[in-house]
Structure 1
């Protein structure tokens, strides 16, 4: 067991706070988050290949297939063989899927704006900058260990696309 430095250090407090934030977001941002992300991407991008969807979501093919089966069973997506490349499967929203995706997007926007309502615009900007710095610091050790990582959700939140926060 490691030696504890001078009692409860700030790093331990930060780790606990981040864990609590993660727990809150996981349990309060709606159920079936994986399915909601798929619907959101398809609403934004239209018809795409299953491989493109896998790359965007940064998930394993087996995990994606399992979720896609459920979403397809719910009648929200259709899969078909690509006419351009018969080895690829294309995924697109059904009419019911488009309606569900639009509804989920409205709910997500409402929820997200409420999450940060206790912060001023300047505090939100500072928090975003600090979280970017923290995530950048975490990515270095991931690369060194050979971990593929998941990009910390950056693709889904505009960072890689260069969109403003």
Structure 2
């Protein structure tokens, strides 16, 4: 009997390979892939005033995880936290000029890696791939 490759296992292998390459590239900025995810999310929503809770929801991470990520990003000078004058319990998270510079360079690498992953796959096949991946994601919600 031939064993079927489990889709979850294959997706995990892709994720690990992607994270490994990203981690190597981000080391020169003293960033982890998880910290980069936070910066990319902040960049995507830079017109909004985001709080830690917004990041927890948007990145689907728990409070202690986001707290640790933000603490390290602040220590490294990638973000600042500004007091929310309407709610003393929360602070707005802002990117610094340093994070803007790093994002430009690091994002180019991520785009190159993305292109490498899709190398040899036609536009039509890519559309189908994304359609199926989103369907899988919806099935798990």
| Normalised TM-score (structure 2) | 0.81
Q: Secondary structure at the match of 1:78?
A: strand
- 2:51 paired residue among 49, 71, 96: 49
Please list every run of 5 or more consecutive structure 2 residues that lacks an aligned counterpart in the other structure: 27-31
Give the aligned partner of residue 37 of structure 2.
Answer: 37
**What is the root-mean-square deviation of aligned Cα atoms in Å?**
1.9
8 Å contact from structure 1 (residues 42, 92) kept in 2: yes
Tell me whether 1:8 sits opposite 2:15 in the alignment.
no
Give the aligned partner of residue 149 of structure 1.
Answer: none
- 2:103 paired residue among 101, 104, 118: 101
Measured against aligned partners, the alpha-carbon deviations of 1:75-94 in whole angstroms (never above 9, x if no partner) come to 11111211222221111011
Aligned in 2, Cα 1:104/1:13: closer, same or farther, shift over 3 Å? Answer: same
Aligned in 2, Cα 1:91/1:60: closer, same or farther, shift over 3 Å? Answer: same
Give the Å deviation of 1:107: 1.9
Give the aligned partner of residue 133 of structure 1.
Answer: 135
Tell me whether 1:24 sits opposite 2:17 in the alignment.
yes
Q: Secondary structure at the match of 2:80?
A: strand
Give the aligned partner of residue 29 of structure 2.
Answer: none
Give the aligned partner of residue 115 of structure 1.
Answer: 117
Measured against aligned partners, the alpha-carbon deviations of 1:50-71 in whole angstroms (never above 9, x if no partner) come to 1111111110010001011111
Aligned in 2, Cα 1:68/1:110: closer, same or farther, shift over 3 Å? Answer: same
Give the Å deviation of 1:13: 5.2
8 Å contact from structure 1 (residues 43, 102) kept in 2: no
Give the aligned partner of residue 61 of structure 1.
Answer: 63
Larger radius of gyration: 1
8 Å contact from structure 1 (residues 76, 97) kept in 2: yes
CA distance in 2 between partners of 1:126 and 1:77 (Å): 37
Count of matched residue pairs? 132
Give the Å deviation of 1:16: 4.4
CA distance in 1 between partners of 2:87 and 2:94 (Å): 16
